[in-house]
Chain A
Amino acid sequence: MEDLAEASDAQLVTHVARYSQAALAEVYRRHGGAVFGLASRVLNSRAEAEDVTQEVFLRLWNAPERFDPTRGSLRAYLMTMAHGRAVDAVRSLSAARRREAADATRSFAPAPDVAQRAWDAVVSEQVAAALAALPEAERRAIELAYFEGHTYVEVARILDEPEGTIKSRIRSGMRRMRGELERRGVQGAEL
């Protein structure tokens, strides 16, 4: 087998399809931190974020053919799966339980893939700047939906705005984000 560390993400998945645990470990090395980070941000619970992370990687192990490299990056595929599962979990938890579950999610062991983490740090910095450049109303709607796990209908209720308004704020905010990120040199393919 060629050196897994040199393999592209898509190549790694073909190895995963052949039940190579080493290939799955390499995928985890590259993306495990980001998947866990997103899940813990949405769930605000380390234990539950770990569960979601496990599910995501077991899913890739069991059904690698679900990943279609022509549709986007492996990172986006894994993050989409993680976000969906985290949001499902959040919606099934009571608000009280969510507060209770909020334990420390700040000090974790370093990930082995230093270069990937450094890049992720750059991306998250650029994302923070891009978010800050959005009109406040758009940013708020996106954050409530994406990080708090609310539906756009709930966001409308929380902000006391018409649903249609929130829908178009999310749409224009996401479009603006895309433009901002491209301007800052952060594009899908590089994630």
Chain B
Amino acid sequence: MNHADAHDLLAPLSLDALDGEVRGELEAHVAVCAQCQRELDDLREVATALGTTSLAAPEGLWERIAARLDERPAPIEPPPLVFAREGHPPSARALVRVRRALAAVSLVAAAAVVALAVGLAHESARVGSLTSALASAQRGAVATALATPGHRVVTLTSSSGEGLATFVMLPDGRGYLVRDALAPLAAGRTYQLWGIVAGRPVSIGVMGRAPRSVTFTLADATPSALGITVEPRGGSLTPATTMVASGAV
């Protein structure tokens, strides 16, 4: 379908008033024509206004939706933002596993309370298109970070020494993924980034199955090392046995 014919049909399409072949052809054109896409997006907003009522959803409907979310494999909240758990330290075994995994890194055992506030702007392949709009801003941020005095470049390597991920960290606690060579994971798995703070692994956040842009902010604490593990989707509270990549800060 050419642009003129397509453009002619955008208003009916915005009302879902097309079907069959015509609809398929039109949608194929819209997918590759920025002008038609913009026009259709605009018309959809008008249609949305047209369909707006002040009805409330029926009582109990949310509960039925929520119940179906539970059919999914163990939805897990993102890792906690603050670790301040005197008396609830990570289990000794978890710590040992991390020590082993990060043997190259000097870990300071300490029982100090650690508070690490983390804000992950973009962390998951699930937010791929959400972050696409921000991707260029992200590249700009990375470039700016690399030009900022006092920045540190942290390279995380596999046990065989292969460079798998490079972060740039700023003195104010912000950090960005500069590049990575992490293979995309199977569905249901995610990469998770850890900081070793006062000898303890602290979750910085999940990075998704195929990390692209990762931004984080560390408040009040500077990790001595970063590590990446593979975890079940949603992330874990304590790291998996094996770090796929780690590096001293």
Contact = CB atoms under 8 A, between A and B. Distances in A.
Given A33-B56, A65-B126, A109-B59, A20 B46 contact: no
A46 to B, nearest CB: 7
A165 interface: no
A119 B77 CA distance: 31
A50 B63 CA distance: 12
A86 B125 CA distance: 29
A48 interface: no
Contacts of A157: none
A58 B69 CA distance: 7
Nearest to B77: A20
Given A17-B130, A108-B57, A149 B16 contact: yes
B65 A54 contact: yes
A95 interface: no
B129 A66 contact: yes
A159 B81 CA distance: 60
Counting contact residues on chain A (CB < 8 A from B), the size range is: 35 or more
A171 B57 contact: no
Interface in B193-241: 206, 233-234
Contacts of A111: 56-57
A163 to B, nearest CB: 10
A79 B9 CA distance: 20
Contacts, number: 224
Given A17-B126, A33-B57, A46-B58, A186 B49 contact: yes
Interface in B10-56: 10-12, 14-19, 37, 41-56
B159 interface: no
A152 B12 contact: yes
Interface string A160-181: 0000000100110111011001
A14 B130 contact: yes
Contact of B49 (A32, A127, A149): A127
A155 B19 CA distance: 13
CB-CB nearest 10 A-B residue pairs:
A188-B45, A37-B55, A37-B53, A111-B56, A109-B59, A121-B54, A145-B17, A17-B126, A38-B51, A171-B11
Interface of B: 8-12, 14-19, 37, 41-59, 61-62, 64-66, 68-69, 72, 75-78, 81, 121-130, 132-133, 206, 233-234
30 contacts: A14-B121, A17-B130, A18-B234, A19-B234, A21-B69, A37-B55, A50-B64, A54-B68, A61-B69, A67-B130, A69-B133, A79-B48, A79-B52, A82-B51, A83-B16, A108-B55, A121-B54, A146-B50, A151-B12, A151-B17, A152-B15, A155-B17, A174-B14, A174-B47, A177-B46, A177-B50, A178-B42, A188-B46, A188-B48, A191-B52
